[in-house]
Amino acid sequence: MKIGFIGLGIMGRPMVFNIIKAGFEVKAFDLNEDARKVVANAGAMEAVSPEMAAEGSDIVITMLPNAFIVQNVLFGENGIVNHLKPGSIVIDMSSVSPADSILCAEELKKVNVRFMDAPVSGGEPKAIDGTLSIMIGGEEQALNEALPVLQAMAADVTHVGGHGSGSTTKLANQILVNVTIAAMSEAVVLASKSGVDIEKMYQAIRGGLAGSTVLDAKIPLVLERNFVAGGRIDINMKDLTNVVQAGHDIGVPMPLSTDVLEMFHALKIDGKAADDHVGLIQYYEKLANFEVPKGGK
User: Which residues does the annotation mark as catalytic?
Assistant: 170
Radius of gyration of the chain (CA): 20
The Cα 69–Cα 75 span in angstroms is 10
The Cα 176–Cα 21 span in angstroms is 32
Eight-state DSSP code of residue 131: -
The Cα 134–Cα 132 span in angstroms is 6
What pairing do the DSSP bridges indicate for beta strands 89-92 and 59-62?
parallel
SS3 track for 70-109: HHHHHHCCCCHHHHCCCCCEEEECCCCCHHHHHHHHHHHH
Strand residue runs (E) in the chain: 2-6, 25-29, 45-46, 59-62, 89-92, 114-117, 120-121, 132-137, 154-161
Residue 82 burial by CB count (10 A; 0-12/13-18/19+): exposed, middle or buried?
exposed
Distance of CA 148 to the CA centre of its chain: 20
Q: Count CB-CB contacts under 10 A for residue 296.
A: 21
3-state secondary structure of 197: coil
CB 70 within 8 A of CB 64: yes
